[in-house]
Amino acid sequence: MCGIIGYTGGSQVLPKLFCGLESLEYRGYDSAGIAFYDTKAGMLCLKEKGRVSEIRTLAAGYERDMGRKIDAHCGIGHTRWATHGKPSDLNSHPHCTSDVSLVHNGIIENYAALREELSRRGYRFLSETDTEAAANLIDYYYKQTEDPISAIRAAIREIRGSYAFGILFHDRPSMIYAVRKDSPLILASGEDGNYIASDIPAILKYTDQYYRLEEGEIATVSPALITVYRDGGASFTPEYEKITWSVDAAEKEGFPHFMLKEIHEEPRAVRDTLSSVLSSDIEAFFAENEFDTINIVACGTAMHAGLIGKFMTEKLARIPVNVYIASEFRYQDPILGSRDLVILISQSGETADTIAALRLAKERGAHTLAVVNVIGSTVAREADRMILTLAGPEISVASTKAYSSQITVMYVISIKLAELRGRLSPGEANALLEELGSKVPAAIEEVIGQKEKIRLLAGEFLQCPSVFFIGRGLDCLLASEGSLKLKEITYIHSEAYAAGEMKHGTISLITDGTPVIALATDKKLFEKTLSNIKEVKTRGAKVILVCPDADHADPSVCDFRIGLPALNESYAPFTAIAALQLLAYYTAVLRGCDVDRPRNLAKSVTVE
């Protein structure tokens, strides 16, 4: 959730740190800071509640006060998403002692005990954070050992929880040290120096060579060399992987926001992901194993994709499927064995709760399959099998093209399992896959072509306190994702309900002018959904109907209508969600919200 960047080399460090931190803003943050070694002033730390731009202003002010430019070639930077302690200047990272500056992503579970012990040893705490305990603990052991590696090893033996640390020792002005457990951290080698970072976009502008630090490994990063030390003491120079993303893929390319750009990329993401799944060994994996049940584990939007997977797999393949919220999976004591499959869906592959669920599934002997967008991520590496969604980098916090890619995988899995179980003939399966690869992307493009109409419709939401989404069948599942999109970027309260459940309580909340977005993409359920629409309409609701163009409702039933292109009804989620994403996007824009970085949210939730 927090963002980390570090650089040491021949170039000035501040531009590298600011560029890296700005590239990580999508992760969500409330404060930022940097620590660096100035050749004349020594170790300096600038941090503040607010945006990275405010740290730029602090640095410029410092240069004015000094009457010279900062001259620094080694430093670390951080964007903080508050967990322990409110957003404030003091709680911002880096946390510094007389000998150590440290940035941290993760949660230290035993920080209270560490603070108490370190206070007895004479350390004074200035912040409310768990991270300051780690900085002081490493400082304590460094004073004992005078060796950075020994100090870090001694400290992490006492720390319980998750962490990715970037560390500067003040008497080693060109070195960065790094270690991780349960939080991601990468090392990267460039032409003019070396880097550490929490995610690829931070270093994408400077290098395409990176190494994912393994748990418990400690890295020393100098301008010319990166060395990694394993727990037993053995050291090695890492072998680097090549980043496949282009710099342009992580840029807006003329769009006002990443979210709008990423909605426009959904047709390509669906086509590319379909090719990725069909070229994988997943069909052989399913042929080799007959599963009694499938369990899908995910969070947020990925969990909503899992619900589509459950619906389609049970419908086509007739295999029982359970869907779990990842943060609750371990506490439900799931019944798992060697004839069960656990599918873990995660855009980043670093979602902490999903990683914990994966490890529990493996402990209990279940087969595991990762559906991720990052090939070298923790979930991808630890699962038995992996399917890569080729959505490309998704920078906006609100997931759009990743969701479309994830449901693409879910559809292919359901079709392949149905074919293997004899419920679809090879011809029927191929026809469905062909439609997924050709007609679906074209239909999404048609919906995107209605964006001006949808933008005008968004004006209807500006002052409303609540919005309700309703639907039946697949539309009910889709309503949940549409509702999430609206609430997370517009800050409008929104709820999704099965259309038939409205009269069991929720209809009491419908008053004059309450917007109700009704999804009606299934012709067989159209009349029933229309009955529910009439129920809310007679109570004053303002109804927005989302349905195929061929289905003509009585104009008196709805106030507005978003028409969808003709398509196999099973594939309606692809087109309907594009419309709902655009509706949420334009509503957020008109309300003046920060579309790509909504308040309090993080792109990759790397803490439990």
Active site residues: 2, 603
Closest by CA to 370, choosing from 296, 283, 477, 274, is 296
Residue owning tokens 């342009």:
248
Residue owning tokens 């404060």:
31
Closest by CA to 420, choosing from 549, 531, 300, 286, is 286
DSSP line for 464-523: -SEEEEEESTHHHHHHHHHHHHHHHHH--EEEEEEGGGGGGTGGGG--TT-EEEEE---G
Closest by CA to 185, choosing from 133, 228, 140, is 228
For the record, the structure tokens of 94 come out as 């880096």
Alpha helices in 317-425, H assignment, sequence order: 326-329, 352-363, 378-382, 401-420
Alpha carbons 297 and 305: distance in angstroms, whole number: 10
Alpha helices in 449-469, H assignment, sequence order: 451-458
89, 95 Cβ separation under 8 angstroms: no
For the record, the structure tokens of 322 come out as 């359970």
417, 286 Cβ separation under 8 angstroms: yes
Closest by CA to 410, choosing from 275, 478, 312, is 312
- Residue 219, C-beta contacts closer than 8 angstroms, at least 6 positions apart: 177, 178, 179, 187, 196, 213, 226, 227, 228, 229
